[in-house]
Amino acid sequence: MQHYIVRLATCQQGSCSYPAAMPRIIGLASTKGGVGKTSITLNLAAELARRGFAVLVLDADPAGHAAAIVEAGSFPFQARVHELEEVDGATVSRWAKGVREAAVDYVIVDAEGARGPSFGATIAVSDLVLVPVGASILDMRGAAETVGVIRRHRMGAGKGRPEILVVPSRVDRRTGAGREVAGALTKLTEPVSGSISLRSVVADSLAAGEPVPADSPSGVEFAALADAVLVRLGVKE
């Protein structure tokens, strides 16, 4: 008997996309907590889904906020808990297989804030790691530390991946630090995306169980981030 794997197309407004054999994997990682990882994960996922891609969010943070918000709300993609409890080789391999074998175009992994088990595993499995960073000195230090961990991983693995995209997050342009954050981040010598501004709609929409409206100023920023992500992954010029 022969077995066939059927991959379903996702169609929206007449345009259809078919999940690739292997998903592109985008990780969200930061050694500092509260920098906007979960907010970016869910709004980026929504923007990619709006473009007709099949997207799965894997919530590797034991706090489980991303999966719980999606389950309770109305989002155009699926999310599930994908916790890594132990760092022994077999468990990490099984966890990574669960990420790589998702039958979607994009998997977005929301890793835990501190350096828990899923932090390093997310970096190791990702094609691209987004490093959200706020405008404070603590955020900058956290971003530098996170970028350092990713670079050491690349050297240890002898691979050019994962790519890095630093994402200025929760940026308040009313403050000097907020206006200068993008310039300050060039010191990290990694690509920096456009900023995600601090706006109540980001917190309020997730509390209401929805992504930000696509036509809101924040929606436009997440769309620009999706463009930057697709460029970093080599999907878009």
Amino acid sitting at position 4: Y
Amino acid sitting at position 94: R
Interaction of residue 24 with Mg ion, rule CB under 5 A: no
Kindly give, in sequence order, each residue whose CB lies less than 8 Å from that of residue 73, ignoring residues fewer than 6 positions away: 206, 208, 209, 210
Q: Which does residue 34 touch among ligand ATP, Mg ion, none (CB within 5 to 8 A, set by kind)?
A: ligand ATP
Q: Which does residue 82 touch among ligand ATP, Mg ion, none (CB within 5 to 8 A, set by kind)?
A: none
Burial bucket for residue 35 (CB in 10 Å: 0-12, 13-18, 19+): buried
Interaction of residue 37 with Mg ion, rule CB under 5 A: yes
Kindly give, in sequence order, each residue whose CB lies less than 8 Å from that of residue 86, ignoring residues fewer than 6 positions away: 92, 117
Q: Which stretch binds Mg ion (CB under 5 A): 32-40, 140-148, 151-159, 189-197?
A: 32-40
Closest distance between ligand ATP and the C-beta of residue 160, in Å?
A: 26
Positions touching ligand ATP (CB under 6 A) are 33-39, 61, 63, 113, 170, 196, 198-199, 202-203
The CA distance from 149 to 101, in Å, is 25
The CA distance from 92 to 130, in Å, is 21
Closest residue to Mg ion in the complex (CB): 38
Interaction of residue 38 with Mg ion, rule CB under 5 A: yes
Closest distance between Mg ion and the C-beta of residue 41, in Å?
A: 8
Closest distance between ligand ATP and the C-beta of residue 174, in Å?
A: 13
Interface positions with Mg ion (CB under 5 A): 37-38
